[in-house]
Structure 1
């Protein structure tokens, strides 16, 4: 074990003294340093600016309250429903939010786990109960850090490469937090050469973005990427699109009327209350009208973070190579989004009645299935060929169910494949081919008994996080008491895998390395708690190949993939293709 913190929970850094709060879990003592600033408050003239590192202070910094939540979009769709409210911020919201929460157990080995929260770059907080680092720090003797970053327009507004607002401020915030840790975690007994980034959804996309950000390379050595990469369709936009959306926001705020040049827009936007900007940004986002499209996200090419085009970096293999990575996806990535984006097509959810009420089963009709799938066709250039193929391929996902359940589950599976799983696999292929460290893949199939959403929604996006943070130990009352021991065993397994990976680069002897040819993934499910280790091959592969082909037909072959990549994929198993599906459609004219 490394330096044991002194009894009064004080740390002396080169910036000044920080006083934390004492915590205890299962007889393990912890010092929590909450709301520690890493950059100057991005307010006033610093709104929309790159972060500036925090300056030294005199006296003691009291780090007793969790990091404030940055301005964000709050979920108001299902008031008081735990499945929605658990993601909303538990504490105060403000622009002065560039701080972090740090949990340091009395005995630890110096390893540091840095959590980057998700939320589509428009929502989220490092201070959710779900992300409390106490249990993970105490049980696994590691330092746990949750970093904050600006969201929505505050983090991702873009007025041009040569303007005062050059985009990706939120990613630069993360980079500044990682730099702060690199420079100061030693004062807490941490080892700056043993930093693992872990995150989920947009947090995972962020972690992978740092692989393509030269100034981030020295700040971490491993990544655990759950359900998201910077290659996912929702995770970045071109400079042209970001400029267009940013100008839409400026126009709604009457900031484009005068000269209309970037600096006058910038000055105008800095004079408007943050809450007004947030409200209008929510309007701009909702106005796009395309499901799973978030307005203010990373810009794919910039001067400050990627220092170039992220896709060009991936294509030319110009990214951090000395890294080890765990990638993972959950079985039902798509279902969480259905009540939010597809309610008009039969996926409505009534949070005031039981989640298991038949009315909440989303038993959609054939016509609603068609309408649901049609809503995504703009992503494929509206190609009728692609529409036919996808409608047919996804209509009978699960054997032995009613037709309505087939249709319902098909939409969920398509959404999950297109927006999450397939892009993650594409990205894992590129990384596994090129990095020096090992790469692993998991497929998560454990549904938590604490999950308040309807059971048909399955193993949902975001509902693996609780196991990595030891929630069954922290909040056992949320779980089915008859299943609690299994939940605890499973949580301990996940924490062990993550820690063994962080410490050695090898999560478990039975977990095979991932490569593009075999595509082996470890299933993490209930059976894992009994020592059964199922290895899966080419998860969702045939559907991902169909989606690849659909993109090609629609003329949007992904920038990162060369033609040979597609050829390699098409030689590995799977018989679903546009051609095959269309032949089937002709033979089964009545089916659709």
Structure 2
């Protein structure tokens, strides 16, 4: 494939279940790499040929101490560990090798990885887009972007527009796709952005920064376990972290004049200091890549009307709260300023009821609903209310071969290998195979026609009475009705993917949101207070 910066040589792979062979182009530079440290991305130089046959290194990653926490995070989210380098501004493209002559170009799915904006890597085997390309006839692009202090430096010497370099990298890669994806059989007008966790946060920053009537470089968006508009914690300044870094590096001079010192330091020294000292570098509201009032813009209909799909996993919090068993201490950390709320939460999550058998279960479920599920519900319903076509899912299936640590259940990020069909090939269950095929197909269907959705009712539509249930293998997706035949009130607009009750579903079961969101009202005042304060 010939692109603006050279002739790209990739590899071809065939998958047993796929109808098409897949062309893989791994490690295409979308910008000059390595970039100048703490500077925005610049155009990649032209070369005669680009050898795109292997994933490039990850950008420099941060896994903060204490050591046990660092090792656990790496086990779950950085496995296998990639090489790391500042020479990292590369993307990967997975495209069907055979395409019909008359097609204008295929739909493109542009993946942004998660990792708390501290780590992540487009070359993780989990993010291999071959099954999408070979089985669903879409093109997948996965891109690297800078994270932690390398992506979000909070130096007072940098202009405000030069703080969110990681977001600028993402946009630079998106623009590269606009100009070059036709060379791989893609249609630049058919791009859907999708991401998980910090990747979904990034997707929402893109959605909220393009005003109504503008033409963003994408036409659909999927947000897995994350969004930016309704924050569960208030944003904090990273300037103290920057000063801490400069002090640890021994930079001379006043606080306002040590950018050159940090630029000259070795990447490994910087990485060690931010890891050991747990220094956090957050994006700042520059009103270019990150707007200061995303929820208001969404509610007022001031953002581009792009169809969206978003959802969360049933047990997001289990991976973050391993080893926690003091419910009171946990509640005081998050909600200590409101004793009445702490009491109400304790009553709403009683120990020994509904599978909450241990303090760890209780803590994890509160974290799941407060940090992910209820804020995503607000996001979905606000989007729909402002006239944006919106779909919401709830992922509820766990498989032994995707448990990177015992007992994590339906944990944060566990849907990704099911969406990409990159789960391990050992101990695969019938449900896992079928659910993966179903979800991959739903995500691809959304990308091919975002306004049509993934195949179930849009938020705010759909009436009760009968459960809508479809699965790719004819197994029932599950049915939920009251013992006397009554059904939940309200719109039937939540796509439950996987299990409903004790039925192992391999497709979608459509239910009212109230089935899973019953406790979300507790947290709305907290989200609102954070919105007002920020």
Which TM-score bucket, shorter chain as reference? 0.7 to 0.9
Structure 1 residue 385 and structure 2 residue 340: aligned? yes
Q: Give the superposed CA RMSD.
A: 3.0
5+ residue gaps, structure 2: 100-104, 462-489
Q: Answer yes or no: is the 8 Å Cα contact 1:447–1:459 preserved in 2.
A: yes
Distance 1:337 1:534, change over 3 A: same
Structure 1 residue 369 and structure 2 residue 327: aligned? yes
Structure 1 residue 330 and structure 2 residue 310: aligned? no
Q: Answer yes or no: is the 8 Å Cα contact 1:164–1:266 preserved in 2.
A: no
Structure 1 residue 491 and structure 2 residue 475: aligned? no
Match runs of 1:42-441 below 5 Å: 42-43=34-35, 46-57=36-47, 59-74=48-63, 77=68, 84-85=75-76, 87-88=78-79, 90-108=81-99, 110-160=106-156, 163=159, 166-214=162-210, 217-231=215-229, 233=231, 237=235, 241-255=237-251, 257-261=252-256, 264-285=257-278, 295-299=280-284, 301-302=285-286, 304-306=288-290, 310=294, 313-314=297-298, 316-321=300-305, 323-339=306-322, 343=323, 345-346=324-325, 368-377=326-335, 382-396=337-351, 398-399=353-354, 405-436=357-388, 438-441=389-392
Find the aligned partners of 1:99 and 1:454 in 2 and give their Cα distance: 31
Single out whichever of 79-88 and 488-497 deviates more from structure 2.
79-88
SS in 2 for 1:375: helix
Q: Answer yes or no: is the 8 Å Cα contact 1:69–1:93 preserved in 2.
A: yes
Single out whichever of 163-172 and 267-276 deviates more from structure 2.
163-172
SS in 2 for 1:533: strand
Can you list the C-alpha shifts for 1:306-332, whole angstroms capped at 9, x where unaligned? 3665456446543222x1111111111
Name the structure 2 match of 1:462: 413
Find the aligned partners of 2:120 and 2:307 in 1 and give their Cα distance: 26
Deviation at 1:529, TM superposition (A): 4.9
Q: Answer yes or no: is the 8 Å Cα contact 2:107–2:187 preserved in 1.
A: yes
TM-score normalised by L of structure 2: 0.84
Q: Answer yes or no: is the 8 Å Cα contact 1:36–1:99 preserved in 2.
A: yes
Distance 1:397 1:141, change over 3 A: farther
Distance 1:103 1:550, change over 3 A: closer
Name the structure 1 match of 2:27: 35
Q: Answer yes or no: is the 8 Å Cα contact 2:160–2:286 preserved in 1.
A: no
Paired residue total? 491
Q: Answer yes or no: is the 8 Å Cα contact 2:498–2:507 preserved in 1.
A: no
TM-score normalised by L of structure 1: 0.76
Find the aligned partners of 2:386 and 2:533 in 1 and give their Cα distance: 14
Greater fraction helix = 1
Deviation at 1:50, TM superposition (A): 1.3
Deviation at 1:520, TM superposition (A): 2.4
Deviation at 1:83, TM superposition (A): 8.5
Deviation at 1:164, TM superposition (A): 7.6
Distance 1:281 1:318, change over 3 A: farther
1:520 pairs with one of 493, 509, 523? 493
Distance 1:84 1:236, change over 3 A: farther
Can you list the C-alpha shifts for 1:440-494, whole angstroms capped at 9, x where unaligned? 001111112313356653211110111111124xx311x34xx2x2211111101
